[in-house]
Amino acid sequence: MGIARSTYYDQPETAVDDTALVETMGEISDSFEAYGYRRMQAGLRQSGIVVNHKKIRRLMREHDLQPRIRRRFIATTDSNHELPIFPNLAKDVTLDGRTGFG
């Protein structure tokens, strides 16, 4: 036939409209506001839309669909215990610049 075999078996690309893509991405980010571009790409792929990750990052940046960063509260001290609580002996100490060594 005169054409390459890869051309014959290649699937034609279906162009995805950017507005429809941004709307779908907006729906996903409303549902899961902590999704970055990788999870967004996986969510789009589950819905049947295959898009390059660079395009997803660009559209997320342009349309302010960046993930909300959740910071967890980390309790560093557990004061609710029955062990003895020792007094703070350094509470009234003032430093005068000398190290006290030597």
Mapping DSSP to helix (H, G, I), strand (E, B) and coil, where does residue 84 land? coil
Amino acid 96: pLDDT: 77
Amino acid 73: pLDDT: 84
pLDDT band at 30 (very low <50, low <70, confident <90, very high): very high
Q: What is the pLDDT of residues 58-74, one digit of tens each?
A: 999 999 999 988 788 88
Question: Are 6 and 42 within 8 A, CB to CB?
Answer: no
| Separation CA 61–CA 82 (nearest Å) | 51
